[in-house]
């Protein structure tokens, strides 16, 4: 009886022995995920549910305080700030998300190609993207905006181009190590093609670290787009993202009005939520404890 019990305990996988409770993401990670989901829902559903831009119908109160009618006060035109923040989420969150997916997707694809191809392909891709990295990100963004305008799609494409090299470098450093493993050599011996090795052998083994990099890159894109809008080069009126809302209401900064504090807090909560999720990804705490 004892021997059987000990044998069963020895072969039980770690997942089966995990104590009940929250999944491996952790409490802080779930809090960050809820905040992130709330902003994503606001970005998608907000413009559909809200039919007006917060323009007052009656008496106008510029930089009005927090009240039952205006939970976050009013802006420099007397518009409801809660409405403006929710409407601004579609540009801050969705544009940053699209840019990040493009940047990481293209960067990872090029990194996989560089790792499994010959030395010349690797060198050309690496040196070409290093050239792009040599240009400061904000300077490159200013050049693109000056040349092609500050439309929503141009801002998304510009942010994606800026962060492709960073995603490429991290993915390539991981993919090169995986490419040297024995099971990849066995796959080549079986006659598997480059596409199979990239898709089936290397990509699944770098997916975890690249998911963490995806979150960090999303934060970088959010801050880049917000800084461009704060300079007046991002989303143009009458539309506005959170960076534009800070710039528009900067006159209320000396009074501490919620018109300038609310969009700044929105940016901070979004970046904090992403970092909480990244720091609590399954397996990350175990890796940090092993260091």
Binning pLDDT at 50, 70 and 90, where does residue 264 land?
A: very high
> What pLDDT is stored for residue 5 in this prediction?
44
pLDDT reading at 222 higher than 90: yes
d(Cα 29, Cα 148) in Å, to the nearest integer? Answer: 39
What tokens appear for 240 in the block? Answer: 């506005």
pLDDT reading at 24 higher than 50: yes
pLDDT reading at 32 higher than 50: yes
Q: Is residue 80 part of a domain?
A: yes
> What pLDDT is stored for residue 156 in this prediction?
93
Task: Between 118 and 210, name the one with better pLDDT.
Answer: 210
Count other Cβ atoms within 10 Å, centred on residue 12: 10
> What pLDDT is stored for residue 16 in this prediction?
41
Task: Between 108 and 185, name the one with better pLDDT.
Answer: 108
H-helix or E-strand containing 225? Answer: helix 203-230
Exposure string of 33-47, with b = 16+ CB inside 10 Å and e = fewer, is: bebbeebeebbeebb
Average the pLDDT over 269-282 and give the result: 89
> What pLDDT is stored for residue 226 in this prediction?
92
Assign 116 to helix, strand or coil.
helix
> What pLDDT is stored for residue 135 in this prediction?
86
> Nearest-5° angle of CA 253, CA 255, CA 259?
55
What tokens appear for 243 in the block? Answer: 């960076």
Q: Is residue 232 part of a domain?
A: yes
Cis link prior to 238 (omega < 30° from 0)? yes
Q: Is residue 122 part of a domain?
A: yes
Q: Is residue 234 part of a domain?
A: yes
Q: Is residue 168 part of a domain?
A: yes
Task: List, in sequence order, every residue forming a beta bridge with 80; answer none if it has no partner.
Answer: 74
Mean pLDDT for the chain?
84
What are the DSSP calls for 226-283, one per residue? Answer: HHHHHTT-SSPTTS--HHHHHHHTGGGGGGT-HHHHHHHHHHHHHHHHHHHHHHTSTT
d(Cα 48, Cα 4) in Å, to the nearest integer? Answer: 61
pLDDT digits (tens, 9 = 90+) for 240-258: 899 999 998 988 887 778 8
How many helical (H) and strand (E) elements, i.e. helices and strands, does the chain have?
A: 14, 0
Assign 80 to helix, strand or coil.
strand
> What pLDDT is stored for residue 199 in this prediction?
87
Provide the Cα torsion 59, 65, 70, 74; round to 10°.
70
> What pLDDT is stored for residue 286 in this prediction?
44
pLDDT digits (tens, 9 = 90+) for 125-169: 999 898 888 888 888 998 998 888 888 999 999 999 999 999 999
User: What CATH number did the domain enclosing 94 receive?
Assistant: 1.10.3720.10
pLDDT digits (tens, 9 = 90+) for 61-79: 888 888 888 889 888 888 8
Place of tokens 């539309």: 239
pLDDT digits (tens, 9 = 90+) for 84-115: 999 999 999 999 999 999 999 999 999 999 99
> What pLDDT is stored for residue 7 in this prediction?
42
What tokens appear for 65 in the block? Answer: 């305080």
What tokens appear for 189 in the block? Answer: 């011996």
Q: How far apart are the first and last CA of the chain?
A: 40
Q: Is residue 7 part of a domain?
A: no
d(Cα 146, Cα 18) in Å, to the nearest integer? Answer: 56
Q: Is residue 49 part of a domain?
A: yes
What tokens appear for 51 in the block? Answer: 């039919």
What are the DSSP calls for 173-209, one per residue? Answer: HHHHHHHTSHHHHHHHHTT--HHHIIIIIIHHHHHHH
Q: Which of 7-11, 39-43, 183-187 has the lowest mean pLDDT?
A: 7-11
> What pLDDT is stored for residue 263 in this prediction?
94
* Number of domain units in the chain: 1
Q: Is residue 138 part of a domain?
A: yes
Q: Look up the domain containing 177 and give its range.
A: 24-55+64-290
């Amino acid at each position: 009886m004892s021997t059987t019990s000990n044998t069963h305990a020895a072969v039980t996988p770690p997942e089966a022995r995990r104590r009940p409770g929250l999944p491996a993401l952790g409490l802080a990670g779930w809090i960050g995920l809820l905040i992130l989901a709330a902003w994503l829902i606001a970005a998608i559903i907000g413009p559909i549910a809200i039919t007006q831009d917060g323009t007052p119908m009656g008496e106008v109160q510029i930089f009005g305080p927090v009240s039952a009618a205006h939970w976050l006060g009013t802006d420099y035109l007397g518009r409801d700030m809660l409405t403006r923040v929710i409407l601004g989420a579609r540009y801050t969150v969705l544009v940053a998300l699209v840019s990040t997916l493009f940047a990481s997707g293209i960067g990872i694809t090029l990194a996989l190609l560089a790792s499994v191809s010959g030395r010349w392909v690797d060198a050309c891709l690496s040196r070409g993207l290093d050239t792009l990295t040599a240009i400061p990100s904000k300077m490159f963004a200013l050049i693109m905006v000056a040349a092609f305008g500050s439309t929503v799609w141009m801002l998304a494409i510009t942010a994606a181009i800026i962060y492709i090299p960073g995603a490429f470098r991290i993915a390539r450093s991981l993919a090169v190590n995986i490419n040297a493993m024995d099971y990849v050599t066995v796959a080549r011996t079986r006659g598997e093609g480059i596409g199979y090795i990239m898709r089936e052998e290397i990509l699944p083994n770098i997916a975890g670290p690249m998911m963490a990099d995806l979150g960090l890159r999303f934060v970088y894109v959010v801050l880049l787009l917000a800084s461009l809008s704060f300079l007046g080069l991002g989303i143009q009126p009458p539309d506005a993202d959170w960076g534009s809302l800070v710039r528009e209401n900067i006159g209320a900064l000396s009074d501490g009005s919620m018109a300038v504090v609310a969009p700044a807090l929105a940016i901070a909560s979004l970046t904090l939520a992403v970092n909480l999720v990244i720091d609590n990804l399954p397996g990350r705490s175990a890796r940090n404890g092993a260091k």
